[in-house]
Amino acid sequence: MGDGRGAPRVVAVVVTYNRRELLVEALEAVRAQTRVPDAVVVVDNASADGTADLVRERFGEAELLALSRNTGGAGGFAAGLRLALDRGADLVWLMDDDTVPEPGALAALLDARANVPGPPVLVASRVVWTDGRDHPMNTPRAKPRAPAAEVRAAEAAGCVPIRSASFVSVLVDADAVRERGLPVADYFLWNDDFEFTTRLLRGRTGVLCRGSVVVHKTRTFGSTDVDPGERFFYEVRNKIWLFTRSDGLTTGERVLYGGSTARRWTLTFVRSQDRAVLRRGLFRGVAAGLRAGPRSNDEALGDLDTR
């Protein structure tokens, strides 16, 4: 596999939208890795700030996939992952444009994958904010009732078994993606990574690697229950899709995560400065989620050149 000497072919996929300065920082950090990816794909979601020209001029080693419309994070990662698979990836390293990996981040992910039995189909980085604190927005969900032997094996490699992860630096096995499918593009934003990683990990091994560190340069420090405004529609609709139409969760997990979702939504309403907006998003999201499921990726992305 990979280069013929047993090393896997790693393709990094970075999805961006109208954040040139952050993208530059992210790509420079990818370029500076102690173990550089074998290829880099940048998916530009129809940015209007000159992102595509910047990538062509300053990062010629990267393959640019310039989409003609904004497909959201979900569509961007679906298109980018599909291209990475077409380019012969063994492993795909996924990240947003505001993710800045430390120099040894990829090497640590690969070491963890080599040392955790399985090997794991997914290895996630530890995500910190700009001040070094663990970022609550990107804390992977621990694997419930993980067998003691699995926990010990992961701990021996400096890792923790997990059930899901975010798209802020996660290394996924390409064959597992080919078997279980791409992210669902119609999610647009929110819960696309949760749905994809739970589906990928169901019945399989995934770990958080503490030694792989990335900085998630969000504007503020906080989790996803910070007042979302109009975007609450996507949170509601997509959670309904996930709980009713995805193969990612078992029946017990649907109950467990459904309860935690209800608690988080309650906190969101309590903390909101504009509950009327959230109520509209809740009603619209419930209606949309129950009315129909997400389209197939071929339908959702069919008008785009994503190859």
Q: What is the pLDDT of residues 150-205, one digit of tens each?
A: 999 999 999 999 999 999 999 999 999 999 999 999 999 999 999 999 999 999 99
Q: Are 102 and 213 in contact (CB under 8 A)?
A: yes
- Cα–Cα distance, 82 to 15 (Å, whole number): 13
Q: What residues have CB less than 8 Å from 226, skipping those under 6 apart?
A: 220, 268, 271
The CA distances from residue 161 to 119, 125, 191, in Å, are 12, 12, 20
Domain spans in the chain, listed from the N-terminal domain onward: 10-300
Exposure string for 183-214, b = 16+ CB within 10 A, e = fewer: bbbbbbbbbbbbbbbbbbbeeebbbbbebbbb
Plot region of 181 (φ>0 → left; ψ -120 to 50 → alpha; else → beta): left
Q: Are 111 and 22 in contact (CB under 8 A)?
A: no
Q: Which CATH architecture has domain 10-300?
A: Alpha-Beta Complex (3.90)
Output the tens digit of pLDDT for each of the chain's 307 residues: 344 447 899 999 999 999 999 999 999 999 999 999 999 999 999 999 999 999 999 999 999 999 999 999 999 999 999 999 999 999 999 999 999 999 999 999 999 999 999 899 999 999 999 888 888 777 888 898 899 999 999 999 999 999 999 999 999 999 999 999 999 999 999 999 999 999 999 999 999 999 999 999 987 766 655 668 888 999 999 999 999 999 999 999 999 888 888 988 888 888 888 889 999 999 999 999 999 999 999 999 988 865 4
**Is the pTM for the entire model greater than 0.75?**
yes
Distance from C-alpha of 307 to C-alpha of 298, rounded to nearest angstrom: 12
